[in-house]
Chains A and B, each alone.
Chain A
Amino acid sequence: MKTKSLLLLIVFLGSIIPVSSAGAENPTQRILDDSVALLHASRAILLDEQDLSGTSRAPGEMLVVNPAVQIDVRDAALANLIQATKDQRNALNASCRQLKEVYSTSDRKCERQVLEDYCSSQENKLNTRLGYLHKLRGDRRKLFTKIWQRIKRSGEDVWRAVGPGGRRIFRRVGPEVVEVVLSGGTLSLGILRKIIIKEAGNIGKGELERLLSSGVKRLLAGQAAFAQAAGVGDCTSEKLQEAREQVEAGLSGEDPGDQPDEADAEIAEDDYCDPSEPWMSVDYWENGVLPMLVSEGKGCSSTSAYKTCLEQKAAEGVCEIDAFAACETVYETLIPTRSGQSVHIVDDEVYFRDKDNHFDITFPLSGGPVSGYIAVEYLEGRKGSGDYCHVINTFTFTGTYDPKTCLLSGTGVKTLAWEEIGDGICLGYQEPYDDQSRSWSMKITNGVLNTGTPEPVINISATYGIQNYLK
C-alpha cells in the first residue's frame, strides 16, 4: 500500500514538473487530419465560435457567463476547441456526402469502400475527441479542480511578473486575436478593417469544406492505388492495414505483428486505469454525472440512454474517460436547454372524464416565461332523464421555467361555469363562482413534462415527451 502511494506521489510530482514534449523527439506521424484540426482550431478561436452548452445563451442574446462555469481564457479556448471539433465533423460529413454521391455513380468500388471506412472511422475519432473535451470541461468545473486552477494561476502570476519580457497573457482570446490579425495588435491601424471570413461566415465555411474535400479525395485515391499495388482486391480497412503492414515489414525486415498499433499505444497511455475497479454507481451518476449534465443544460433531458450507455461500458470494463468518449454520440442526443428552441404543446384530447378537453403550454427550453391554458368541459346528469349539468373549468396561467431545477411554476386564474338543464342536477357547484387566482407548478423529468406534478390546479395528469414538441 505504502509503495503504491509512493509511486502515485512520484507520478503526480512527475506530471507537474514541466518537461519538453516527448513527441518532438519521436518520429511524428504527420497526417492530414491533424493539419485540418489545426485549421479548424485556428478558425474557431479567431471567429470566437464557442460551444455554449455550458452557458445560457439564446440566439440574439448577449453571452451570459455563469460565474460558476466560465472562469478564464482557457475555458473560452476549450469552448472554441469543442466548437472546432464540431465544425470539423460537419465539414467531414459534408465532404463524405459529396464524395459518396460522386462514387455512387461511378464504378470506383474500391474508393467507395475506402471512403465508407474512412468517413465512419474519422467521425468516430472526432466523436471520441468531443467526448474527451466535454469530460475535460466537466472536470474543470469540479470544486477541487477549481481550487487547483487558482493555485496554478497564482503561480502563473509570479512568472508573469518575473518571467521573460515581451509577453502579455490574453484576457479574452478571440477578440484579442482578431486585433492581432487585423493590425498586428495595434488596434488603431485595423479599426476600419474587416476579416472576410469573419464578416461572411459562409465564405469561410465553403473554403474549408473544399480544402478538406480535396484532401480526402487525394487520400482515397492514394489508398486505392495502394490497394492495387499490394494486390488487395478487397478495400476494407482491415485488408488495407494488412497490406500496409506487409509493405512496412518488407521495408524494415521486421515482423509486423511486433509493431505496437495505435490501440496498444492508447492502452499504454491510459494504463493507470484498472478496469476491474468499478467506477459507475448510482451515487456517481447522481452526484457526478447528473450535476455535470445540469450545468451543461442537459439535466432535464431524457438521460436514461446516456446512463445506460455508461453503465454498459463500465460493465464491459471500459475505463471512465474512455466510456465518456464512447458514449459521446448518446450525449449528443441529449437536448441542451441552450439550443434556442421552445416547447409548444397543444393537446385537444387531454383526458378528464372524457377526451374532448384542451391543454396548451409554451416555454423556451433555455428557461424563461411560460404561458398556457387548460379547458375541461364535461356533462353530469341522470341516466336517461335528459337532465344534465354542463360544467366548464378553465385555467389560464403564466409563470417561469427554470432549467436548473426543471421546474415550471407560476400563477393563473381558474374559472368555473356551469349550466343546469333540469332541476337539482348541478350539485356541489357553488354560486356565484368568482374567478380564483391559484399557483401551479409542473416538472420535467427525464425529458417528460408531467402536468400532474407537483402542484396541479386542474387534475389532468398527462405526460408529454418534450422532444416531440420542440419548435
Chain B
Amino acid sequence: MPVNKNGNSKGEKKKRGWVIFAAGCAVLTGGIVLLLVIYLAVGWQSYQDAPKIVSEVESDILITEEYDLGQDQMDAYLEYGFPEAFRILFYDEMLPDGSIVPVRLESWTYYSQGVELSFLNGEKSGLETLNNPQLGNLILSPYYPEQFTAYMSLDEVMTAAGLDEYAVVPLEKDYLEGSEVYYGPQLSFGMKDGELRMVEVMGLTE
C-alpha cells in the first residue's frame, strides 16, 4: 500500500476526507433542521397570539350550578325584569382575619327604564338614575347574570353562554400578562391565567 511521508496511506486520507465531508453535511443538515424548527416554533407562537375567530367549538363540560342570586337581585328581577345590559367583575379581597374571599361586583342596566343597579356579592350597593337619550328598539339579551360564575374556565363559559364561535384577542404581556379578551354575540369577557375575570353583556338596538 502506498504510504506518504507522514505515514498515512492514501486510503486513510480518502477515508478521512469522507468523514469530514459527512460531518460537514451533518452539521449543515442539523443547522437547517434547527432553523426550520425555530421558524415553525416562532410561527406557531405568532399564530397563537394572533387575534382570531374560532368557530366549531365543542365543549363537553356540563354546567349544573349557576350563581345563586342575592335577595336584592331577585327583587330587582321582580321590579325591573332581566337587565338589558350588565357587567360583572370577579376578583379577590383579603379580610381582616387574613382569609381571601372572592368578590363579585356587578352593574345591571335597564336603558328603557333609565335605571342602573350595582351589586356587591349579590347585595345592592347603588342605584343610579340614567338620562339616556332615545335609543330605539332594544334587543333582548340572550344572557342573564347568574349564568356566569367567578373564575370559570373558557370551556365553562362557552357552555354556560351556549357559544360555538368566539373571537379572541390576546393582550400584550406589558398590558396584562396571560390575558385575553373574547367576544361573542352581544357579549365580551376577559380571562386571565385561564380564569374568567370580567363579563360584559351589551345592549343592542335596532
Contact = CB atoms under 8 A, between A and B. Distances in A.
A168 interface: yes
Nearest to A214: B118
Interface in B50-102: 50-57, 85, 87, 89-98, 102
A34 B42 contact: no
Contact of B89 (A35, A154, A200): A35
Contacts of B91: 30-32, 34-35, 215
A38 B192 contact: yes
Contact of B41 (A16, A170, A248): A16
**A contact residues, range:** 35 or more
A192 interface: yes
A207 B44 contact: no
B205 A196 contact: yes
Given A39-B198, A200-B132, A210-B128, A165 B56 contact: yes
Contacts of B139: 193
A28 interface: yes
Nearest to A45: B169
A166 B54 contact: yes
A38 B197 contact: yes
B181 A38 contact: yes
A18 B174 contact: no
B3 interface: no
A77 B47 contact: no
B198 A129 contact: no
Interface string B165-177: 1110101101111
B100 to A, nearest CB: 9
A176 interface: yes
B188 to A, nearest CB: 4
B132 A81 contact: no
Interface stretch (B10-18, B19-27, B105-113): B105-113
Nearest to A181: B183
B103 interface: yes
A338 B189 CA distance: 32
A180 B181 CA distance: 13
Counting chain A CB atoms within 10 Å of each CB, which of B52, B136, B165 scores highest?
A: B52
B206 A38 contact: no
A34 B179 contact: yes
B147 interface: no
A159 B193 contact: no
Range class of the B interface residue count: 35 or more
A250 B194 CA distance: 31
Contacts of A427: none
B40 interface: yes
Contacts of B55: 166-168, 185
Given A173-B169, A184-B184, A39 B89 contact: yes
Given A165-B56, A195-B202, A30 B90 contact: yes
B133 interface: yes
Contact of B54 (A41, A78, A167, A176): A167
Contact of B205 (A29, A199, A250): A199
A81 B172 contact: yes
A195 to B, nearest CB: 6
A193 B203 CA distance: 10
A285 B189 CA distance: 41
Q: Is the interface of A mostly helix, strand, loop or mixed?
A: helix
A253 interface: no
Contacts of A29: 92
B92 A30 contact: yes
Contacts of A184: 165, 184-185
B194 A24 contact: yes
Nearest to B135: A196
Given A42-B181, A81-B172, A180-B183, A203 B132 contact: yes
B152 interface: no
Nearest to A211: B107
B155 interface: no
A68 interface: no
B190 A23 contact: no
Given A34-B179, A176-B53, A199-B205, A222 B93 contact: yes
B51 A173 contact: yes
B38 A13 contact: yes
Interface in A118-164: 129, 132-133, 136, 151-160, 163
Interface of A: 13, 16-18, 21, 23-24, 28-32, 34-39, 41-43, 45-46, 73-74, 77-78, 81, 84-85, 129, 132-133, 136, 151-160, 163, 165-170, 173, 176-177, 180-185, 192-197, 199-200, 203, 206-207, 210-211, 214-215, 218-219, 222, 225-226, 228-230, 244, 247-248, 250-251
19 contacts: A30-B91, A30-B151, A41-B176, A85-B175, A152-B43, A155-B42, A155-B47, A159-B44, A170-B167, A182-B204, A184-B184, A197-B203, A199-B135, A200-B133, A203-B132, A210-B118, A218-B105, A219-B93, A225-B96
Interface of B: 38-57, 85, 87, 89-98, 102-103, 105, 107, 109, 111, 116, 118, 120, 125-126, 128, 130, 132-133, 135-136, 139, 151, 165-167, 169, 171-172, 174-179, 181, 183-195, 197-198, 200, 202-206
